[in-house]
Structure 1
Amino acid sequence: MFKPSAEQIIKVMQGKGYSVYDTPAVDWNLNIVGIRANDPEPGTFNDTLAVFQRLQGAWNICYYQITTDPSLHYLTHPVNSSGTAILKEGQYKGAYQLDIHNRGLDSGHLALCQRLKPVTVYRDSNRDNKLNLLEGKTQTGMFNINIHRTCEDYIQRQRFSAGCQVFAEQRQFAEFIRACQASEKAFGNKFTYTLLHERDFQ
């Protein structure tokens, strides 16, 4: 898992003109940053989620192992007629809030959900087991590209992501949600998600 420092991430974000949340006097102003790996492997959790904030004046950062890519089942069986969603790198300001992922289903759980603003996705429509990130095949809209957890059964059946950002490890996800809940109390139920690529640091 790629683990750049908070300062390295901030440098990349500022170079792209992205917002960095920094309130030294108030804790829990979270920067939530996904980093897609250089060697994308659909069906694996080889990407990074970095969550950092000012705590008592210093940058504090936590790293989590996630996937930013759809799993193999949904690459070969898209749920959308335009193709499988793959979130495009960018900053999605105020697009997310704490809500129930898969509301109404047995697997529903509290997660960071895309409820407030559009995001942009690539549409991979050729139904193979490789990621196809083509600039001419993007859509922007409300696609429920959430940040949630999964379970071993879904991992084994490769049904854990149709384009969402997904944790495999339950305890890591619980820690992440606790941080989001603390942030909600301090700043409200609105979150920004930034997706970078490992090559941005090279």
Structure 2
Amino acid sequence: MLEQTKNKYNLDILMNVLDKKGYKIFTQKYIPNIIGVRDIQNIDCFDDVLILFYFDENSQPSYQEYSITTLPGMYYLKNPPNTEGTAVLKEGQYLDLYRLGIHKQAISKRINKIFYKYLLSIFLKPFERKIYLSNSFMANKLEETINNLNSSHKALIQNIDEIPVYRENNRSGELKFEKNGFGTEINIHRASYLGKAIKVGNYSAGCQVFASRLEFDDFLEKIEKCTKKAGLVSIPYTLINKKDL
């Protein structure tokens, strides 16, 4: 269960800001409004806020805030993974940006296959392997454990080909917001599987990243509930600046 903390922002004020910017506010039942609030004062910290709100079957709002980063970590600012520079998502509203999927899916498939065979070879004798794998429950539990141990996991993944970003290529760790470009794989995912991360570090190369696994799990559970009830495939995302509020 999430720890109850005081909200930083007010829903009425937030909706007023979104309305003034001409952004869509989804009031239909169970359509999620996901709002990132960016604070650029501190780099490499989870100082940003992700707000999730939607309206339930009684048209009552459900509102939750989470600690995230909307900026890349210091590691990738100093070591850009792209020759054009590290991606920083531009503020704006993106109506079909996300869908449910697997963050780092290609890596997941490769690592899981190798690690799966490795575990079986170490912990199980040949005749035990056959018995173990014939038990579908045990086999599924082993695969679930492997999924949890590596960095790939269920998340919100980019649903459109490219989105506008800034490219930071000065390798100084400073944000300039000067060079324009386009980005792919700008996902919403968690940092560490183990507890709560303090520094962003190499957890984000441009993604929107949760500090806490517990908070991310809560967020994802709510998103899965909303998409099922509302029959959604694509999920909107809006990124604004703390100064707007």
- State the Cα deviation string for residues 76-122 of structure 1 (Å, max 9, x = none): 00011111101110001111000000113331100011123532110
The normalised TM-score by structure 1 is 0.89
Aligned twin of 1:126: 170
Secondary structure of the 2:93 match is strand
| C-alpha contact (below 8 Å) 2:37/2:239 kept by paired residues | yes
CA distance in 1, matches of 2:40, 2:76: 21
Correspondence 1:139 to 2:181 = yes
- State the Cα deviation string for residues 13-51 of structure 1 (Å, max 9, x = none): 11111111001xx3x211000000152x22110000000
Identity of aligned residues (%): 36
Aligned twin of 1:22: 27
| C-alpha contact (below 8 Å) 1:112/1:146 kept by paired residues | yes
Task: Note the 1:170-185 alignment, pairs <5 A.
Answer: 170-185=213-228
User: What stretches of structure 1 move > 4 A for 4+ residues in a row?
Assistant: 152-157
CA distance in 2, matches of 1:157, 1:86: 14
Structure number with bigger Rg: 2
Aligned twin of 1:58: 60
| C-alpha contact (below 8 Å) 2:46/2:198 kept by paired residues | no
Correspondence 1:37 to 2:30 = no
CA distance in 2, matches of 1:80, 1:116: 19
| C-alpha contact (below 8 Å) 1:52/1:59 kept by paired residues | yes
Q: Which one-letter code corresponds to 2:88 in the other structure? A: I
| C-alpha contact (below 8 Å) 2:73/2:200 kept by paired residues | no
Give 1 or 2: higher strand fraction: 1
| Relative contact order, higher structure (CA 8 A, sep 6+) | 2
Correspondence 1:9 to 2:11 = no
CA distance in 2, matches of 1:116, 1:72: 27
| C-alpha contact (below 8 Å) 1:38/1:199 kept by paired residues | no
Segments of 5+ residues of structure 1 without an aligned counterpart are none
What is the Cα-based RMSD across aligned positions, in Å?
A: 2.0
CA distance in 2, matches of 1:90, 1:35: 11
CA 1:51–1:156: 2 relative to 1, 3 Å:
closer
Aligned twin of 1:200: 244
Correspondence 1:80 to 2:122 = no
Deviation (angstroms), 1:155: 6.1
CA distance in 1, matches of 2:61, 2:232: 21
Give 1 or 2: higher helix fraction: 2
